[in-house]
Structure 1
Amino acid sequence: MPQEPHPNYTGYQSFDYLEPHVDYRVFDVAPDLDRVPGYDLGLDEEQQARVRSIISDAHVISLHEHPKVLTTDPHQLREYNSTGRNVLGFAGLARSGMSAYFDNFMNGTNTVTSANGWKWNDVLYDLGLRFADIAKQDFVFLARTVEDVKRAKQEGKIACVAGLEAATAIENELDRLDVLYGLGVRQMGIAYSMANQLGTGLAEEVDGGLTAFGHRAVERMNKLGIAIDISHSSDRTSLDTVHASAVPIFITHAGARGLWPTNRMKPDEVIKACADRGGVIGIEAAPHTTLSPDHPEHSLESVMDHFQYCVDLVGIDHVAFGPDTNFGDHVGLHDSFSSQLTIGRAHGHVSHPRVPYVAGVENPAENFTNIIGWLVKHDWSDDDIHKVVGTNILRVLKEVW
Structure 2
Amino acid sequence: MLEPAKRYSGYRSYEYLEAGTDYRVFDLVPELGRVPAYEGLSLDSAQRDRVAKLLSENIVVSLHEHPSVFPTDIRQTPDYNRSARHHTGFEGLARSGMTVVFDNLMDGTCCITSQMGWKWNDVVADIGMRLSDLAHQDYLVKVERLSDIHEAHDSGRMGLVLGLEASTMIENEVDRIDMLYGFGVRQMGIAYSESNTLGSGLKEKSDGGLTLFGEKAVTRMNKLGIAIDISHSGDITCLDTIRHSTKPILITHAGARGVWPTNRMKTDETIKAAAERGGVIGLEAAPHTTLSPAHPLHSLDSVMDHFTYCVDLVGIDHVAFGPDTLFGDHVGLHDTFAEHLSLNEAHHGVPYDKVPYVDGLENPAECFWNIISWLVVHGYSDDEIRKVVGGNVLRVLEEVWH
For the criterion TM > 0.5, the same-fold answer is yes
Match of 2:80 in 1: 80
Q: Determine helix, strand or coil for the equivalent of 1:311.
A: helix
What is the CA distance between 1:115 and its match in structure 2? 5.8
Give 1:12's aligned residue: 11
Q: Greater CA deviation, 225-234 or 73-82?
A: 73-82
Q: Which runs of 5+ in 1 are unaligned?
A: none
Question: How far apart in 1 are the matches of 2:240 and 2:303?
Answer: 27
- Cα distance, 1:57 vs. partner? 1.3
**Residues 165, 346 of structure 1: alpha-carbon distance in 2 compared, 3 angstrom cutoff:** closer
The structural deviation recorded for 1:110 is 2.0
2:24 equivalent to 1:25: yes
**CA positional deviation for 1:357:** 0.5
Corresponding residue for residue 99 of structure 1: 99
Question: The residue matched to 2:69 in structure 1 has which SS?
Answer: coil
Q: Give per-residue Cα distances to partners, 1:200-253, cap 9 Å, x unaligned.
A: 111211111110000000000000000000000000110000001000010000
Residues 290, 302 of structure 2: 8 Å contact kept:
yes
1:171–1:62 distance in 2 versus 1, CA, 3 Å: same
Q: Deviations over 1:32-83 (max 9, x none)?
A: 1000011121111111010011011111100000000111112111111121
Within 5 Å, which residues of 2 pair with 1:227-376? Answer: 227-345=227-345, 349-376=349-376
Q: Secondary structure at the match of 1:121?
A: helix
Q: Find the aligned partners of 1:347 and 1:362 in 2 and give their Cα distance.
A: 20
CA–CA distance in 1 between the matches of 2:218 and 2:167?
A: 10
Counterpart position of 1:38: 37
The one-letter code of the counterpart of 1:266 is: K
Deviations 1:121-157 (A, max 9, x none): 1011000000010110000010000111111111110
Q: TM-score, normalised by structure 1?
A: 0.98
Alpha-carbon contact 1:262-1:343 (below 8 Å) kept: no
Offset, 1:347: 7.7
Residue number in structure 1 paired with 2:184: 184
**1:66 corresponds to:** 66
Question: What TM-score does the superposition give when structure 2 sets the normalisation length?
Answer: 0.98
Instruction: Report if aligned partners of 2:112, 2:122 keep a CA contact under 8 Å in 1.
Output: no
Secondary structure of the residue that 1:141 maps to in structure 2?
strand
The aligned counterpart of 2:49 is 49
Gap runs ≥5 in structure 2: none
Residue 284 of structure 2 contacts residue 290 of structure 2 at CA under 8 Å; is this kept in 1? yes
Percent identical among aligned pairs is: 63
- Contact kept in structure 2, 1:284 and 1:303, CA below 8 Å: yes
| Matches of 2:346 and 2:84, distance apart in 1 | 32
Give 1:10's aligned amino acid.
S
2:147 matched to 1:147? Answer: yes
Residues of 2 paired with 1:362 and 1:347: CA distance? Answer: 20
Conserved? CA contact 2:202–2:346, under 8 Å: no
Matches within 5 A, 1:132-211: 132-211=132-211
Map of 2:378 onto structure 1 = 378
User: What SS is found at the alignment partner of 1:179?
Assistant: helix
- Which whole-Å CA distance do the structure 1 matches of 2:63 and 2:116 have between them? 23
Alpha-carbon shift at residue 113 of structure 1 (Å): 3.8
- Per the TM alignment, residue 84 of structure 1 is displaced from its structure 2 partner at its CA by 1.0
Rounded to whole Å, the distance in 1 between the matches of 2:252 and 2:365 is: 19
In structure 1, the residue corresponding to 2:70 is in which secondary structure?
A: coil
**Which residue identity does 2:11 align to in structure 1?**
Y
- The alpha carbon displacement at 1:348 in A equals 6.3
Deviations 1:351-380 (A, max 9, x none): 221110000000000000000000001010
* Cα-Cα RMSD: 1.1
Distance 2:196 2:345 in 1: 19
- Contact map agreement 1:202 1:342 (CA 8 A) in 2: no
Q: Secondary structure at the match of 1:79?
A: helix
Question: 2-side partners of 1:227 and 1:123: how far apart?
Answer: 18
Which residue of the partner structure matches residue 110 of structure 2?
110
Residues of 1 paired with 2:158 and 2:45: CA distance?
27
Structure 1 Cα separation of the partners of residues 99 and 252 of structure 2: 17
